[in-house]
Chains A and B, each alone.
Chain A
């Protein structure tokens, strides 16, 4: 490796990148928009807890039981199925299915069969709340405290017992979008190098093709990593497990650079490179939805490489997951990055010829 040549090309690419108004605007605007979107998202969870209730014969005045009490609102569902769907759609966090003989059993001092559904991202605190609620319910309706052994089912993907504000859930999606936005600029720079035949002039000096690709890879990775790391620092995404997250970001940035090579080799000019870049960006942003709305997506999402970045950032920043929890993600991300880099370089090398 000729590091002097690599440094010269990295500096040249940085000059050209920021001298191009389009790329400069995309970079700065993308960063600002990401931060703005994060901060306009709700930072706290809903304080009033809405719970669904279904019973074939709900006791009269049941819904008014908690009226006026701060923090809990009971909403009647038409059927058990409707209750489940409402939870999955996020209308309320949990639901109770009460038996038709609820009041009768309570008045006889017997424990009724109560079924509880909890949204996957609300498990944890919600279990405790539902427990207290059922205890209060038996007290209010039966006049005495009866221990109820209720059945519980979690709907959607289990989120390990944590509730996350929307802005923190969207954080990992924004990171991927920012990283992939850099694919545009990087791919265009590389494509122009081939189209304008400046790469041939560079290779007429004592610089090897390997040096040239290393310079492009380093520039792309540093650019994407710098932007994503800055974003996460501003939105406090590095407060938990910064080491894990930064390694994840580095691998994700390498992935973005590798995709830049691929997009550059696919496109013939700026427009077609931008089209390919946009298509790839949309595809790679999909795993962000998995974190935004857990339970909606299925296992196929794991074939998209960015899933492992999104999951790592989300697990580490939102749930404090450490190396032991995400090492597999990082390994897979490394594998994807290396494989895509190899494919991207081969494809771009063919274009150079």
Chain B
């Protein structure tokens, strides 16, 4: 059995009368990338804040790297890296100064920001003020900041939100590199495509509860429907045919399709994580 980097039992948090996180339980294995998916207000950021020691749980227990986050948050913070959804860098300071400051806060002496900046594609910009960076560059610097202490767990909150495709892909590459290094990644996102591409497992959270938790593949198997979609006909009289792939009639229907009609295009279709989320919760991720 793999060791659990994160262990959550009956975790609860509320704001006044609003129950934001409703007795959730899950674990994340060491070296695993877990996607925490849900629409705005579902409770994913509140969970993220409890696990990173920003909020003290109001009920239940969360253990990070074997330590109770409520009692031992300072030691936990020393071994995790946190990357926020919003930019919170010192814009009047240079990229190098930003990283060096955080290295000092982690107690790292003799820190050189150059290699880390190079890793996130910001080489040569060590002495440039952050205020002059684009949004994508700032997000990459935020990512670099979260890696300053070579964290055992990386907590990422919507790391590619609002980024151009190149910057977003750069961030995803770093996440995968960290996985290769052996780090555990807790990724909060509402980008289903990203979660599907990066995560070993995904958890769907809705109204403070985890409603599904599995690998993207198994979720699709369990909740999705596979189908063959074809475009048939000629000229302007094109029509679309959908054949379910997992029934007894599938071979005959496919045979009939190709023998009786002129097929223009054909492709298989499987459910997306978003389809599954909607199926489970009855609501979309962008709500």
The CA of A196 and the CA of B102, in the complex, are separated in Å by 16
- Are A201 and B145 closer than 8 Å at their CB atoms? yes
Contacts of B54 in A (CB 8 A): 200, 203-204
- Are B105 and A206 closer than 8 Å at their CB atoms? yes
Closest chain-B Cβ to A213's Cβ sits at a distance in Å of: 15
Tally of A interface residues using CB under 8 Å: 21
Q: Which of B183-197 contact A (CB under 8 A)?
A: none
Contacts of B145 in A (CB 8 A): 201
Residue of B nearest to A8 (CB): B104
Residue of A nearest to B97 (CB): A15
- Are B89 and A202 closer than 8 Å at their CB atoms? no
Q: Which of A197-237 contact B (CB under 8 A)?
A: 197-198, 200-208
Contacts of A55 in B (CB 8 A): none
Interface centre among A12, A204, A208 (most CB of B within 10 A): A204
Q: Let me know if B229 is at the binding interface, CB within 8 A.
A: no
Q: Which of B74, B75, B89 has a CB less than 8 Å from the CB of A198?
A: B89
- Are B105 and A207 closer than 8 Å at their CB atoms? yes
Are A5 and B104 also in contact (CB < 8 A) when A201-B84, A204-B52, A206-B75 are? yes
Chain B proximity mask over A177-206: 1 for CB below 8 Å, otherwise 0: 000000000000000000011101111111
The CA of A196 and the CA of B138, in the complex, are separated in Å by 14
The CA of A210 and the CA of B206, in the complex, are separated in Å by 35
* Chain B, interface SS category: loop
Q: Let me know if B53 is at the binding interface, CB within 8 A.
A: yes
Chain A proximity mask over B140-151: 1 for CB below 8 Å, otherwise 0: 000001000000
Contacts of B62 in A (CB 8 A): none
Q: Let me know if A4 is at the binding interface, CB within 8 A.
A: yes
Are A200 and B105 also in contact (CB < 8 A) when A19-B92, A206-B74, A208-B74 are? no
Q: Let me know if B172 is at the binding interface, CB within 8 A.
A: no
- Are A201 and B77 closer than 8 Å at their CB atoms? no
Q: Which of A123-180 contact B (CB under 8 A)?
A: none
Q: Let me know if A328 is at the binding interface, CB within 8 A.
A: no
- Are A12 and B101 closer than 8 Å at their CB atoms? yes
Contacts of B245 in A (CB 8 A): none
- Are A205 and B106 closer than 8 Å at their CB atoms? yes
Q: Let me know if A44 is at the binding interface, CB within 8 A.
A: no
- Are A197 and B92 closer than 8 Å at their CB atoms? no
- Are A198 and B88 closer than 8 Å at their CB atoms? yes
Q: Let me know if A16 is at the binding interface, CB within 8 A.
A: yes
10 tightest CB-CB pairs across the interface, nearest first? A8-B104, A205-B105, A197-B88, A204-B82, A206-B78, A201-B88, A206-B74, A206-B77, A198-B88, A5-B105
What are 26 A-B interface contacts by the 8 Å CB criterion? Answer: A4-B107, A5-B104, A8-B104, A8-B105, A12-B90, A12-B97, A12-B101, A16-B90, A20-B92, A196-B88, A196-B91, A197-B88, A198-B88, A198-B89, A201-B82, A201-B84, A201-B102, A202-B105, A203-B54, A204-B77, A205-B102, A206-B74, A206-B77, A206-B106, A206-B107, A207-B105
Apart from A16-B93, A204-B53, what are 17 other A-B pairs with CB-CB below 8 Å? A4-B104, A5-B104, A5-B105, A7-B104, A15-B93, A16-B90, A197-B86, A200-B54, A201-B82, A201-B102, A201-B145, A204-B52, A204-B54, A205-B77, A206-B77, A206-B78, A208-B74
B contacts, CB < 8 Å to A = 52-54, 74-75, 77-78, 82, 84, 86, 88-93, 97, 101-102, 104-107, 145
